[in-house]
Structure 1
Amino acid sequence: MPVINFSYKDIDEALGQKIPKNELIDMLPMIGSDIEDYDDENLKVEFFPNRPDHYSVEGITRTLKGMLGIEEGMPIYETSPSGTTMTVDPELKVIRPYTSCCIVEGVNIDDEKLVQLMDFQEDLHWVIGRDRKKVAIGIHNLDVLKPPFSYMAADPDSESFLALEMTEPQSLRQILENHKKGRKYAHLIEKFDKYPLIKDSEGNILSMPPIINGDLTKLSTETRNVFIDVTGTDERAVNHALNIIATSFAEAGGKIKTVKVIYGDREVETPDLTPKEFYVSVKNAQKRIGEKLTAPEVVRMLKRVRLHAEAESDDKIRVLVPAYRIDVLHEVDLIENIAIGYGFRDIGSELPDIATIAYEDKTRFFENRIREVMTGMGFNEVMSLMLTNEEHHYYDMRLPEDDRVMVAQPISQDRTMIRKSLLNGLMEFLEDNKHEELPQKIFEVGDVVYMDGETETHTKIVKKLAGAVVHSTANFTEIKSITDAMIQNLGLKMEIEPLEHPSFIGGRCAGIKGIKETSNDSESGKQEVQIMGFFGELHPEVITNFEMEYPVVAFEVEFKGI
């Protein structure tokens, strides 16, 4: 998670008053942070990914103002048209199709703020942008540019400019090869015939999204007006990033001016800071928080966390959520904010009315046995998210699409469905850690969800175990031995048969079925378990899709009856 560094002086200046250090340290965890370290002058604070609006000092103090009673309710940011346009090249539709832009006038940047701004930008790249794959942000010195602007698909060999941290102009293709950011992010655009480029009306190049900005527009302590561009593959995420960074500038005194983005078939004025409307039930809040609440109290708590709230009845509260709050998707999110406004430390605790004797859950008992076996064979456990996306689950694994549980309002393009397999999660992990030493041996025990028309809920939760090994000589014999050892250590008998699986090399995959186990459980006696699954060598295309360079062997089994 992103770690934000700032001083007590930064907070006091942004608040407009001095807050005692011990009070600040005590309050920050109550708004969703974890204090990593602090001394007499500085704080190092970690914020959760669901609140990227807290990744700047201005965002943090905006929330603190509400908690301290300095300013309550939803902040209002006035915008006015700049008269500037950004024209989007239709050829970008298959490369990086979306952009949102704005101008902020009257900014004041010193050396410390410049560093904080760069950190803020990179944190947003990581959390919202998925390391620039989905969103990339450019912040430019507007005073050296002449609008209007063009977002175009450019020939990588005929266009050139002086990029940040370089001493001479180079072509777009050369920048990918020679610049450290170019080498790091080349995989995002190098497969296309043309690369994204942003220019002003005089042909000056602002940036080459999502790689690097031009040296011409770099910020300095003399900068007073900035042009912000956000480009990406997900329009919703692009707009979210712009809203967060623009309102952060506004908190520091900047004036936001909108830019008209012109696509081939439509025009959009950005940023759109229209708040979202929700409703929350007082009764539901009481039930989940465990405290007796009235409608006026709920309204006051919501205003304390910088939301607009008004009671329409004794139970129904209308809430307006500002555009920079991308974490609020459902009533339960509002109830969480009510609890924050109430104060977690003020929520009472009580013992249950009945006495209970705890014992280990049967499912956990079996899972722990699996973990002991896998770690005993030298595997490291990973825990991935239940949510994934179609690209990783189907296309990268060479699987045909089928019925799955979709997320109605995904906050991220990377998390649009509930997983049906553990293997793609293991491959994502290996991809992220390909710079580490080999061999790598990892496993995961977790739930997957299938569509099931035979049940009332139409879904079925299944427990699975998956393991993967990567190194230069990984092969079918190795994964067969690993699977066999795992099965035997669990006291199982297994049957093996040939299997053709799209994710694996033909002839190097085997199925496992009809396996039963008798395990000793101290509470329930004997328990019958059935295991079905497969193992083998992953197909070279799958390995390439996850940008791996060495063979990968893997297995996945499903447990029934536990």
Structure 2
Amino acid sequence: MPTVSVKRDLLFQALGRTYTDEEFDELCFEFGLELDEITSEKDIISREQGDQKAEGASDVVLYKIDVPANRYDLLCLEGLVRGLQVFKDKMEAPRYQRVSPVNGDPQRLIITEEEKLHQNVCRKRTLVAIGTHDLDTISGPFTYTAKAPEEIRFRPLSQSQEYTAAQLMSLYKTDSHLRHYLHIIEDEPLYPVIYDSNGVVLSMPPIINGDHSKISVNTRNVFIECTATDVTKAKIVLDTIVTMFSAYCDEPFTVEEAEVVYPDGRMFSYPELAYRTETLSADFINRRVGISETTDSIALLLTRMCLRSEVTGETDQIQVEIPPTRSDVIHACDIMEDAAMAYGFNNIARTTPRTYTVANQLPLNKLTELLRSDLAAAGFTEALTFALCSREDIADKLGKNITETRAVHISNPKTAEFQVARTTLLPGLLKTVAANRKMALPLKLFEISDVVLKDEDKDVGARNNRRLCAVYYNKTPGFEVIHGLLDRLMQLLDVKPGRNHGYHIQASEDSTFFPGRCAEIFFGGKSIGRLGVLHPDVISSFDLTMPCSALDVDIEPFL
């Protein structure tokens, strides 16, 4: 859930009254939010960087409020206050309008939501990039085009000189904020750029705006542009940001439209600020929520959630108007949820479900729990490791090529340690051994968890596979210990040795294991795993210095 930080006193001033921390926490709960933390800038810096760095920082109380990920209209102070005021019947939900451009007196605007939108609905600028500009410093019409990096030259925000786009890519590789977005376009032959009619660069989306049109404290007219790879998301973002700004316009909640001409000649006016209506019955809401309210009462509840509602001529029917700020409402169930929120979850009577079900453990999980206890009784210690790891962990360090691993790769991973979903449990156990080298030998570890493998037959293109992995680390390889663990495992599973209906092992070669010290495990004629002495290169790649044996087996065939 995104978190919005607002100054407490400024929030209370906008709400028109003062709350205690407990009262505001309760108000947030009623509205479907959560007051996550009460802090200050000084406390945050002190906690993250130490007391010395926090000297001179502001003591102003901040409320950190968790907002549902689909409520883009609540990601700034203005939207938050507007929603709470309507919820508390202190104001009516505004109607947003677009008007033709006129030469009116400019109005100062406050920008607070752009970055929150970039991180959420814009998916870190991969779907939509927002640019805000001082309209008085530029002139239309504006042109959105693409050019070679060497042909784009301008002075970016907060810089004192001009750079080409190629130079900017090098400059921002060390920027703690912008470097995370460079991968979106840096390998493309052409970069997107927006010019005004005089050839002034407004922005190079999705990286940086030009310094020429930057917003300042004296800005009174704002031009907002959204470039996107997803036009639906672009419309949502543009509608959201202009409706938040519109409260400060000369005529509140009105926005001047702009005409967009596409290369094929199509013309559209944005923002759309489109309203739509949904009709549903009071009985639907009463039954789903578990209340008994009249049609008029439910219409009032929905109106408190910024969904203007009225009873139609037909009995029991409610017509609900969905404003452009509520892109999260896509189904009658969403409207029902808002009605429940306005009614108050604590006010809904507790009832016993009519359905009678008997809970039971999944067979795979039951088998896992039984094996965990018995392996611990066999003298092995259980480890729980991360499901994500680096490409190097499951490939290079194990003597394999990444293309052979059937690994699911994480797009734009946060760290190098979490690049792929693991295809084997072995790297996690070897890392655990490396972190506990000072413990008394031998180290005997096991883990029974899921790995993730690509599978084209699945609708999501991948599947989970429950595996058991164990390692024995000592001054001697201890292959007999791992072999004994395999025999004990089969004894617990009531599987007898045999080539046709039981289990057997046969010599095999695997780059992860020492040549001539690896065996493949078969059950019912099918390969289910391997055991053996690890290759010295594998051991050293995990910073280990002694021999190690390992067992890796699929337990799903035993269900």
TM-score range, shorter chain: 0.5 to 0.7
Code of the aligned partner of 1:135: V
The answer as to 2:414 corresponding to 1:432 is yes
**Which residue of 2 is the match for residue 89 of structure 1?**
none
1:200-349 equivalences under 5 Å are: 200-253=196-249, 255-265=254-264, 266-312=266-312, 313-349=314-350
Give 1:261 deviation, angstroms: 1.0
> Is 1:175 equivalent to 2:168 in the alignment?
yes
Q: TM-score, normalised by structure 2?
A: 0.66
Change (3 A) 1:153 1:450: closer
1:191 aligns with 2:187: yes
Aligned amino acid, residue 205 of structure 1: V
Give the letter for the 1:68 counterpart: K
1 CA distance for matches of 2:31 and 2:527? 45
Cα distance change, pair 376–186 in 1 and its aligned pair in 2 (3 A): same
State the AA in 2 paired with 1:79.
R
Q: Which runs of 5+ in 2 are unaligned?
A: 40-59, 389-401, 421-425, 430-448, 470-481, 496-502, 507-519, 531-551
* Superposed counterparts of 1:140-539, under 5 Å: 140-179=133-172, 180=175, 183-253=179-249, 255-265=254-264, 266-312=266-312, 313-351=314-352, 360=361, 364-366=365-367, 376-381=382-387, 424=408, 427-428=409-410, 431-434=413-416, 441=428, 444=450, 464-465=464-465
Counterpart CA distance in 2 for 1:460 and 1:233 is 23
Partner residue, 1:59: 79
Task: From 106, 124, 130, give the equivalent of 1:137.
Answer: 130
How much has 1:319 moved relative to structure 2? 1.5
How far is the alpha carbon of 1:380 from its aligned partner? 2.0
Residues 437-446 or 299-308, more deviating: 437-446
Pairs aligned (count): 437
Q: CA, structure 1 residues 430+210, in 2 after alignment: closer, same or farther (shift >3 Å)?
A: closer
Structure-2 change in CA distance of 1:444 and 1:146 (3 Å): farther
From 99, 107, 117, the equivalent of 1:80 is 99
Task: Provide the rounded CA distance (Å) in 2 between the counterparts of 1:198 and 1:461.
Answer: 38
- 1:103-161 C-alpha deviation (Å, 9 max, x unpaired): 9984435xxx55xx2xx212111111111111111111111111111111122102211
Q: Which moved more, 1:153-162 or 1:314-323?
A: 314-323
**Superposed displacement of residue 440, structure 1:** 7.0
In structure 1, how many angstroms separate the alpha carbons of the residues matched to 2:460 and 2:163?
55
> TM-score under structure 1 normalisation?
0.65
User: Does the CA contact (< 8 Å) of 2:130 and 2:224 recur in 1?
Assistant: yes
- Using a 3 Å threshold, how does the CA distance of structure 1 residues 169 and 302 change in structure 2: closer, same or farther? same
Taking a change above 3 Å as real, the CA distance of residues 449 and 298 of structure 1, as seen in their structure-2 partners, is farther
Q: CA deviation at 1:357?
A: 8.4
Indicate the structure whose relative CO is greater, using CA pairs within 8 Å and at least 6 residues apart.
1
Distance 1:463 1:514 in 2: 21
**Preserved contact between residue 513 and residue 533 of structure 1 (Cα < 8 Å):** yes
C-alpha contact 2:139 2:196 (8 A) present in aligned 1: yes
Residue equivalent to 2:32: 32
SS in 2 for 1:82: coil
Q: Which moved more, 1:359-368 or 1:21-30?
A: 359-368
What is the CA–CA distance in structure 1 between the aligned matches of 2:326 and 2:99, rounded to whole Å?
21
- C-alpha displacement of 1:269: 0.6
State the alpha-carbon separation in 1 of the partners of residues 19 and 224 from structure 2. Answer: 35
Task: Spell out, residue by residue over 1:443-486, the C-alpha distance to the aligned partner (whole angstroms, 9 max, x if none).
Answer: 6579999999xxxxxx99998337899xxxxxxxxxxxx9x999
C-alpha contact 1:146 1:200 (8 A) present in aligned 2: yes
* Residue 381 (structure 1) shift: 4.4
> Is the 8 Å Cα contact of residues 30 and 342 (structure 2) preserved in structure 1?
no
- SS of 1:12's equivalent in the other structure is helix
**How far is 1:12 from its partner?**
3.3
The answer to whether the 8 A contact 1:6-1:42 is kept is yes
The alignment's C-alpha RMSD in Å is 4.8
- TM-fit CA distance, 1:18: 1.5
Cα 1:257–1:466 shift into 2, 3 Å: farther
How big is the shift at 1:308? 1.8
Residue 392 of structure 1 corresponds to none
- Amino acid paired to 2:78: E
SS at match of 2:188: coil
**Structure that is richer in strand per residue:** 1
Contact 1:445 1:464 in 2 (8 A): yes
- Structure 2 counterpart of 1:321, which letter? I
Partners in 2 of 1:154 and 1:175 — Cα distance?
A: 14
Deviation at 1:354, TM superposition (A): 10
* Residues 407 and 453, structure 2, Cα contact 8 Å, conserved in 1: no
TM-aligned CA deviation for residue 514 of structure 1? 6.6
